Structure 1
């Protein structure tokens, strides 16, 4: 039994965590959970009381939230070279948490039809959707990767937001977004993770 277990569902943000696990090259076990079933069962709620995926358990330690999982695994498996090095920390943490905070909130609210008024924009962490998109575009345009000239764990999370957003229409298909996504899509770990999750999805759908 591996010291790392991924709790996920192939139709969830768990695909981000799967990609990150594949990037670090660790041996890991997978527990596939169903919405409304095993995801809400006592056994899993003991791991993540939110009843949501993904979560990882590494050597007895629980980590939830995709951005946290990416940052944790980069530190836990330093040989993968995905943690920030000198000169990268500021952009690495800034854009990792910008994507986990303002981008996630702005995209979710827009998808739900929630548009803050001018006064409400002072209360929400992202201000307004258009501003978030413009700032994100500038971030992915500044360097080949989000923290500089090389791929890091922050690109797993930010890149997932951009790839999903442009694919499903929650982000506009601006040239900078498409170019950034293209730099990430062919990474062997991303391809491998996508194939594994696509196969798991087919199995779950076939099982009903």
Structure 2
């Protein structure tokens, strides 16, 4: 099996990548980086020139961007069952990239106070915020899984976005969003990943200053 190294910070999207690693059941090394210091140091910039986390080293290959990390791990460890069969991946890829594109862009612009005027909505990849929310609402309403009949990396990614959005009130608290997040909140791999990252945060807070 290829060696796995996760470059992360417990207060970042690295939490999503760690959840995925825990779902694979594979051993991995964690390298914790700090914003503004080690994340911008030459050693890490050689891994990810963007100077951001997460990044995954799998064997001799570096993968950045969360959906790419999830898709890579799902394919690298098929026994974990985190991706549908290749011929059935239409919805799987659709919602992975919907979350990475229209959903994240719409949430970010809303958080920054950016309102795209109606006559300019054709220039952005999501149209408007309400359209994105309505589209995702229809996709998860009454469903436990967004792509097929079992949990996949697409569920992990969409549920993570919705969980963060509900927590920080950057998305509306619609019943279908809450139900979908709750359907996956107690997965053992998610609980292990959260416990690991929460322990890192607690350790950093307890560390003497100076």
Which residue of structure 2 aligns with residue 100 of structure 1? 100
Aligned to 2:68: 68
Distance 2:86 2:61 in 1: 28
For residues 139 and 87 of structure 2, the distance between their equivalents in structure 1, rounded to whole angstroms, comes to 16
| More off after superposition, 139-148 vs 118-127 | 139-148
Match of 2:111 in 1: 111
User: What residue in structure 2 maps to residue 158 of structure 1?
Assistant: 158
Q: Counterpart of 2:55?
A: 55
Provide the C-alpha distance between the structure 2 equivalents of 1:107 and 1:181, rounded to a whole number of angstroms.
17
Query: Helix, strand or coil for the counterpart of 1:173?
Result: coil
5+ residue gaps, structure 1: none
Aligned residues: 207
For residue 39 of structure 2, what is the aligned residue in structure 1?
Answer: 39
TM-score (norm 1): 0.96
* 2:198 corresponds to: 198
Instruction: Say whether the 8 Å CA contact 1:8–1:14 is kept in structure 2.
Output: yes
Shift of 1:206: 2.2
Match of 2:84 in 1: 84
Q: Who is 1:129 aligned against? A: 129
Instruction: Say which is worse superposed, 31-40 or 116-125, in terms of deviation.
Output: 116-125
Rounded to whole Å, the distance in 2 between the matches of 1:149 and 1:40 is 42
Structure 1 residue 149 corresponds to structure 2 residue 149: yes
> Is 1:39–1:45's contact at 8 Å kept on the other side of the alignment?
yes
Alpha-carbon offset, residue 148 of structure 1: 2.2
Structure 1 stretch displaced more, 81-90 or 153-162:
81-90
SS at match of 1:183: helix
Q: Is the 8 A contact 2:142 2:176 kept in 1?
A: no
TM-score in terms of structure 2 length: 0.95
How far apart, in 2, do the equivalents of 1:187 and 1:42 lie?
37
Alignment partners' CA distance in 1, 2:108 and 2:31: 27
Q: After the TM superposition, which of the residue ranges 39-48 and 81-90 deviates more from structure 2?
A: 81-90
CA deviation string 1:167-198 (max 9, x = no partner): 11011111100110011100000000000000
* 1:11 and 2:11 correspond: yes
| CA–CA separation in structure 2 for the residues paired with 1:201 and 1:195 | 10
Q: Indicate the SS of the match to 1:10.
A: coil
